[in-house]
């Protein structure tokens, strides 16, 4: 998602109100720069900047507040954090040297891709920000084995463009794919609508070469060699580590062969319940759709009032967007089965996209839904939680109750097929009362998702936003185990400090033999 | 610090029925400087490297049962010792399946805990995912005796660092897996298996892989069998290699794929039960050596040729290839020492032939040969640090990853 959609462009940066969700769960307040390490001697900022300039040149380091303002936010609304400085290595060698300089100075730092993340993972609060956008080359592409090696700053959609001439594409498709980078996707283990059939980033990454916080370069996973890798699945651990384990120098990804045929269906319902039950029935029937997305009435009306109007029936209370793809043979039969299931569960109409342009239009409404909500309110909290699929009707009903009780408007637009909810609340962040109600509603929504057997984030990451919810789903010993893993990679906890795991969880295990 | 090793007589196995019981066992092991040999169903105990000889067995077959299964969620949670057969029966009743079909010698398919702990994959892995793609969450007793949970029961989850992936394939050396949550699949409407005879020399049988890649089909599994294995499974009478294809989907799609498959060879529809027989093919050759080779899928024809040439002169050697994953596996009678020598030391082969540049992985070897097997990926700095972080006293399956005697010495010399 382009964060500009969720925030007025003319809002003065420093005047952003205290974030509604900063204190969510009561833990975020404990986050301090460099948190996680014990107090260490202050870093000589001038000396650090000089050393970094020696690596990347004077234009590769930003220090002025006016220049840094661009890097004070990511896709999480309501937060403004100034990095102490920002450094932009131009290539792999410079990136390694930058990390070495940071290690010599004991400086905490935050790696950043495109800054489209929705959990605050790329916010650098008075620590160094390392921008990776200049490392944007596709290093190699092996069409026969459907494998590509890319630098971390390669944009998700650009990789698909590079692969398209070979009949291949990169399957994970977060809504921000036109801007977000593969490095950021790896850090967040990003998802997207088509992950229902094709899997998330983890399932598409074959290898990572990373520089660790002490400057050591490590190779994780089999990479482009194609041979099974040996030993622990440290690649699996690295994917989704939110920039706390290392900085990717290159990423080896699996490409997917473009399907022979695609069918996209739109079904509209007069109740969310019916649409949710249709979802469960489709999943259970033996067909694995490429995508199965749901939008509720408020979302439909926001989309239809916007330039992204997709032709959704504006009086519907829910639409399901279903897609099947693969071999042409039998695909119409699968599409027909899905249409019948929708009708049997109360769909008013089911239509199948007539041509690629029609299909693109149906998808545009879904992918730009967050942007369309900019018409409704100045700010938007994009929430992310996962529940078991059979719990959809019950949880959606409870979300409605919560919204009514706290007088907020929830728009649901989400990956129904895998139970990945995005209850979004539009609000005005300058209205303290409304912000507080949004905060309370979100906390209650997270709790009911956890109570239903779900989790606090399916694809956006924990970052800063969800850190206070971690104790809802993990015991102290489980959180301490996560800290142990982090310290295998980054013993000084200098990378992306204060994110993912609450700091106090990491202080409670200390009886390790050295 | 030098402490004389604590010598313990082989003791009775632990047989815990809960995670707490596992925790008690691990804590007892730490306190007494004992080593633990984790045993799921106990059917793979001779697979993998030998564990320290004084290790006491921790049985997990007493820790069994499906603890949560809501068919509409397409997820399932089971205790580690639950046999895959039991899960297959429960899910089949709902038209679903767990796509973990690792090679196993036992009738019950092995336990889910062992399958995840060893990240063992079978013919369905290319189409339906490796164990790392299927595991959603685990409960684990770590080597320092903590009960932890990672991941969850839902199909998408990025909350926290991914300890589920870390435990998957760690062979129990970071923690004893006590419970696993997995993703299920709805069974396809039609599930059809074809056996295609491949005329011509066995060495070139895997050339079919190129045709398979460009064919208008997406099989659930594509497994090439050498003539000996095809004969064992009863799928050929002609003595030629056989390509097994498993096709799934609606009737129209499967019919179309079946037509397409006709371009790859003369075929017949056979009983789907052949896959179960294939999974257990090691049983045809008790005490055999089992190895597999892995490199780029585009090179699988070379990998196959290498395997066939190594096994030349061993008429009973069973060879099969997961063509789309680029993995070739061989079961070689231990008595065929010449073939064995060629497998383990291909550089000594007199003839030329394609040079194999991928990885050879030993699954089952005579004890005396393990010490010469390289153990990549266990001795680098990160791997050692991971082990130290989760099993600081080296009580869990010490030696199974080939990590060396030094670690066993640490176990006896370290102080909790």
B207-237: pLDDT as tens digits:
999 999 889 999 999 999 999 999 999 998 6
Write the pLDDT tens digit of every residue in A333-351: 999 999 999 999 999 999 9
Q: Cα–Cα distance between A467 and A24 in angstroms, integer?
A: 8
pLDDT surpassing 50 at residue A438? yes
Spatial separation of the C-alpha atoms in residues A344 and B178, rounded to whole Å: 42
Residue with tokens 């693969």: A326
Suggest the residue from A222, A484, A495, A511 to mutate for an interface test with chain B (most B CBs closer than 10 A): A484
Are A453 and B294 a contacting pair at CB < 8 A? no
Is the confidence at residue A508, as pLDDT, over 70? no
Mutate which: B102, B128, B160, vs A, most A CBs within 10 A: B160
The reported pLDDT for the residue numbered A44 is 85
Report pLDDT digits (tens) over A113-157: 999 999 999 999 999 999 999 999 999 999 999 999 999 999 999
Q: Would you call A167 an interface residue with chain B, using a CB distance cutoff of 8 Å?
A: no
**Backbone phi, psi, residue B260, to 5°:** -60, -40
A481 contacts chain B (CB < 8 A): yes
Residue B347 has pLDDT above 90, yes or no: no
The 10s digit of each residue's pLDDT in B154-202 is 999 999 999 999 999 999 999 999 999 999 999 999 999 999 998 888 8
| Mean pLDDT to the nearest integer, A429-446 | 94
Q: Do A500 and B378 touch (CB under 8 A)?
A: no
Mean pLDDT, to the nearest integer, of A365-389? 89
User: Above 90 in pLDDT, residue B350?
Assistant: no
Whole-number Å distance between alpha carbons of B400 and B275: 29
Gap between the Cα atoms of A403 and B397, Å rounded:
52
Average pLDDT, integer, range B341-345: 89
A334: enclosing H helix or E strand: helix A331-344
- In chain A, residues with a C-beta closer than 8 Å to the C-beta of B327 are 228
The 10s digit of each residue's pLDDT in A258-271 is 999 999 999 999 99
Average pLDDT (A179-189) is 98
The per-residue pLDDT for A6 is: 38
**Interchain proximity A473–B159, CB inside 8 Å:** yes
3-state secondary structure of B207: helix
Contact A353, A284 (CB under 8 A): no
Q: How many Å apart are CA B169 and CA A123, to the nearest integer?
A: 34
- Note the pLDDT of residue B1: 37
Chosen from A198, A218, A233 to mutate, greatest number of chain B CBs within 10 A:
A233
> CB A488 to CB B376 under 8 A?
no
Residues B213 and B260: their CA atoms lie apart, in Å, by 12
Give the best-scoring range by mean pLDDT among A457-471, B333-347, B348-362. A457-471
From CA A182, how far away is CA A114, in angstroms rounded? 10
* Composition of chain A by helix, strand, coil, percent to 5: 40, 20, 40
Q: What's the pLDDT score for residue A9?
A: 35
**What would the pLDDT profile of B367-409 be if each residue is shown by its tens digit?**
888 888 888 777 789 999 999 999 999 999 999 998 864 454 4
| Residue B404 to residue B395: CA distance in whole angstroms | 14
* Chain B environment of A418 (Cβ under 8 Å): 154-156
- Residue A376's pLDDT band (cuts 50, 70, 90): confident
Tokens of A67: 């220049």
Alpha-carbon span A391 to A400, nearest angstrom: 14
Looking up tokens 């979004």, which residue turns up?
A424
CA distance A247 to A96: 9
- How long a stretch of residues is chain A? 514
B382, A218: Cβ pair inside 8 Å? yes
- How many residues are recorded in chain B? 416
pLDDT band at residue B411 using 50, 70 and 90 as cut-offs:
low
User: Does A108 score more than 60 pLDDT?
Assistant: yes
Closest CA of chain B from A390, distance in Å:
6
- Would you kindly state where each structural domain of chain B is located, as residue ranges? 1-187+374-416, 190-366
User: Do the beta carbons of residue B152 and residue A455 sit within 8 Å?
Assistant: yes
Give the angle subtended at the CA of B83 by the CAs of B82 and B89, to the nearest 5°: 105
The values of phi and psi at residue A227, to 5°, are -85, 150
**Number of C-beta neighbours around residue A65 at 10 A:** 11
Task: Indicate if the alpha-carbon torsion angle A129, A134, A138, A140 is positive or negative.
Answer: negative
Q: What is the CATH number of domain B1-187+374-416?
A: 3.30.465.10
Round to whole Å and give the CA distance between A51 and A61: 10
For residue A456, what is the nearest residue in chain B, using CA coordinates? B159
Candidates B159, B394, B397: best to mutate against A (most CBs of A within 10 A) is B159
Instruction: Say what the pLDDT of residue B353 is.
Output: 59
Sheet holding B221-225, edge to edge: B266-270, B190-197, B242-249, B221-225, B318-322, B327-332, B289-294, B359-364
Nearest to B100 by CA among B81, B75, B119: B119
**What's the burial of A348, exposed, middle or buried (CB within 10 Å: 0-12/13-18/19+)?**
middle
CA pair distance A159, B22, nearest whole angstrom: 47
Which residues of B are less than 8 Å from A455 in CB distance? 152, 154, 157, 159
Could you report the per-residue pLDDT of A400-411, keeping only the tens digit for each?
999 999 999 999
The CATH number given to B190-366 is 3.40.462
Summarised one tens digit per residue, pLDDT across range A191-243 is 999 999 999 999 999 999 999 999 999 999 999 888 988 899 999 999 999 99
Tell me the chain A residues in contact with residue B213 when contact means C-beta distances shorter than 8 Å: 144
CA B246 to chain CA mean position, Å = 20
- CB-nearest to B72 from A191, A288, A389 is A389
- The CA distance from B238 to the nearest CA of chain A, in Å, is 33
State the complex-level ipTM.
Answer: 0.94
pLDDT at A38 over 60: no
Q: Which residue has the tokens 């009911």?
A: A448
Give me chain B's average pLDDT, please: 90
Q: Which two tokens stand for residue A300?
A: 């439909």
* Amino acid A374: pLDDT: 84
- The answer to whether A180 touches A205, Cβ cutoff 8 Å, is no
Give yes or no for residue B292 having a pLDDT over 60: yes
Q: What is the DSSP string of B86-149?
A: HHHHHHHTTTEE-------SSTT--BHHHHHHTT---TTHHHH--HHHHEEEEEEEETTS-EEE
**Which strands sit side by side in the sheet containing A379-382, from one edge to the other?**
A349-352, A261-269, A318-326, A291-296, A410-414, A423-427, A379-382
Show the tokens assigned to B112.
């889910």
Domains identified in chain A and CATH numbers:
3-131 (3.30.43.10), 138-257 (3.30.465.10), 261-451 (3.40.462.10)
For residue A189, give the nearest of A463, A476, A484 by alpha carbon.
A463
The answer to whether B165 contacts A283, with C-beta atoms less than 8 Å apart, is no
For residue range B45-86, list pLDDT tens digits in order: 667 788 888 899 999 999 999 999 999 999 999 999 999 999
Count CB neighbours of B277 within 10 A: 16
Predicted local distance difference test score (pLDDT) of residue A286: 82
């Amino acid at each position: 998602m382009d964060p500009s959609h969720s925030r007025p462009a003319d809002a003065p940066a420093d005047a952003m109100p205290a974030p509604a969700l900063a204190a969510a769960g009561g833990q975020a307040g404990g986050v301090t720069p460099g948190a996680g390490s014990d107090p260490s001697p202050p870093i000589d900022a001038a000396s650090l900047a000089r050393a970094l300039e020696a690596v990347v040149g004077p234009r590769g380091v930003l220090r002025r507040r006016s220049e840094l303002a661009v890097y004070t936010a990511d896709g999480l609304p309501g937060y403004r954090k100034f990095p102490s400085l920002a450094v932009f290595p131009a290539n792999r060698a410079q990136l390694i040297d930058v990390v070495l300089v940071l290690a010599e100075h004991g400086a905490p730092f935050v790696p950043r891709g495109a800054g489209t993340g929705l959990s605050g993972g790329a916010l650098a609060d008075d620590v160094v920000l390392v921008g990776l956008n200049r490392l944007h080359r596709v290093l190699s592409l092996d069409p026969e084995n459907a494998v590509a090696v890319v630098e971390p700053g390669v944009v998700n959609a650009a990789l698909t463009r590079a692969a398209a001439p070979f009949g291949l594409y990169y399957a994970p498709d977060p809504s921000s794919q036109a801007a977000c980078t593969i490095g950021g996707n790896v850090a967040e283990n990003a998802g997207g609508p088509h992950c229902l059939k094709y899997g998330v980033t983890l399932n598409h990454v074959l290898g990572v070469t990373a520089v660790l916080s002490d400057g050591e370069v490590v190779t994780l996973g089999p990479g482009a060699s194609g041979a099974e890798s040996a030993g622990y699945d440290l690649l699996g651990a690295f994917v989704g580590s939110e920039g706390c384990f290392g900085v990717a120098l290159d990423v080896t990804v699996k490409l997917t062969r473009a399907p022979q045929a695609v069918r996209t269906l739109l079904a509209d319902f007069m109740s969310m319940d019916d649409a949710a039950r249709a979802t469960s029935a489709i999943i259970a029937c033996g067909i694995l759709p490429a995508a199965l997305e749901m939008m509720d009435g408020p979302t439909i009306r926001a989309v239809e009032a916007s330039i992204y109007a997709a032709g959704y029936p504006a009086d519907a209370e829910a639409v399901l967007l279903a897609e099947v793809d693969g071999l042409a043979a039998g695909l119409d039969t699968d599409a027909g089965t899905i249409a019948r299931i929708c009708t049997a569960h109360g769909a008013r109409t089911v239509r199948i996209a007539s041509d690629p342009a029609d299909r693109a239009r149906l998808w545009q409404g879904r992918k730009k839904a967050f942007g369309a909500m900019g018409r409704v309110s100045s700010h938007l909290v994009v929430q992310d939680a996962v529940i078991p699929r059979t719990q959809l009707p019950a949880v959606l009903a409870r979300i409605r109750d919560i919204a009514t009780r706290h007088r907020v408007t929830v728009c649901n637009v989400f990956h129904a097929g895998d139970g990945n909810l995005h209850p979004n609340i539009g609000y005005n962040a300058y209205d303290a009362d409304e912000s507080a109600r949004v905060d309370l509603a979100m906390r209650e929504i997270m709790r009911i998702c956890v109570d239903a057997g779900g989790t606090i984030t399916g694809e956006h990451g924990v970052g800063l936003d969800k850190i206070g919810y971690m104790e809802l789903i993990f015991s102290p010993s489980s959180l301490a185990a996560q800290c142990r893993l982090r310290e295998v990679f980054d013993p000084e906890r200098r990378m992306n400090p204060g994110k993912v795991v609450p700091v106090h969880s990491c202080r409670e295990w200390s009886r390790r033999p050295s | 610090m030098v402490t004389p090793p604590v010598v313990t007589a082989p003791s009775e196995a632990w047989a815990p029925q809960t995670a707490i019981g596992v925790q008690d066992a691990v804590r007892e092991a730490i306190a007494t400087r004992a080593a633990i040999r984790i045993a799921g169903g106990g059917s793979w105990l001779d697979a993998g490297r030998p564990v320290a000889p004084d290790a006491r067995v921790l049985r997990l077959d007493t820790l069994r049962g499906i603890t949560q299964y809501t068919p509409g969620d397409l997820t399932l949670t089971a205790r580690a010792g639950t046999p895959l057969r039991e899960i297959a029966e429960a899910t089949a009743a709902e038209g679903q399946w767990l796509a973990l079909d690792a090679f196993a010698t036992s009738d019950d398919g092995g336990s889910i805990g062992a399958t995840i702990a060893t990240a063992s994959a079978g013919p369905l892995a290319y189409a339906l995912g490796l164990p790392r793609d299927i595991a959603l969450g685990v409960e684990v007793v770590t080597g320092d005796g903590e009960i932890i949970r990672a991941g969850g029961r839902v199909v998408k989850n990025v909350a926290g660092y991914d300890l589920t992936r870390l435990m998957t394939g760690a062979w129990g050396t970071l923690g004893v897996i006590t419970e696993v949550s997995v993703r299920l699949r709805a069974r396809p409407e039609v599930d059809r298996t074809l056996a295609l005879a491949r005329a011509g020399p066995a060495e070139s049988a895997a050339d079919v892989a190129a045709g398979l890649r460009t064919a208008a089909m997406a099989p659930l599994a594509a497994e090439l069998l050498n003539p000996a294995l095809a004969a064992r499974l009863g799928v050929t009478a002609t003595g030629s290699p056989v390509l097994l294809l498993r096709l799934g989907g609606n009737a129209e799609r499967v019919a179309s794929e079946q037509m397409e498959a006709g371009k790859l060879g003369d075929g017949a529809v056979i009983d789907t039960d052949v896959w179960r027989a294939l999974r257990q093919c090691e049983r045809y050759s008790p005490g055999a050596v089992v190895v597999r080779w892995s490199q780029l899928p585009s090179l699988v024809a070379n990998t196959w040729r290498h395997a066939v040439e190594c096994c030349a002169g061993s008429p009973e050697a069973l060879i099969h290839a997961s063509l789309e994953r680029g993995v070739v596996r061989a079961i070689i009678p231990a008595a065929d020492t010449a073939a064995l020598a060629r497998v383990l030391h291909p550089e000594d082969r007199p003839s030329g032939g394609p040079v194999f540049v991928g990885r050879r992985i030993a699954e089952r070897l005579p004890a005396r040969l393990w010490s010469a097997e390289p153990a990549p990926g266990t001795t680098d700095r990160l791997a050692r640090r991971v082990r130290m972080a989760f099993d600081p006293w080296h009580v869990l399956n010490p030696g199974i990853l080939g990590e060396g005697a030094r670690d066993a010495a640490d176990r006896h010399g370290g102080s909790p």
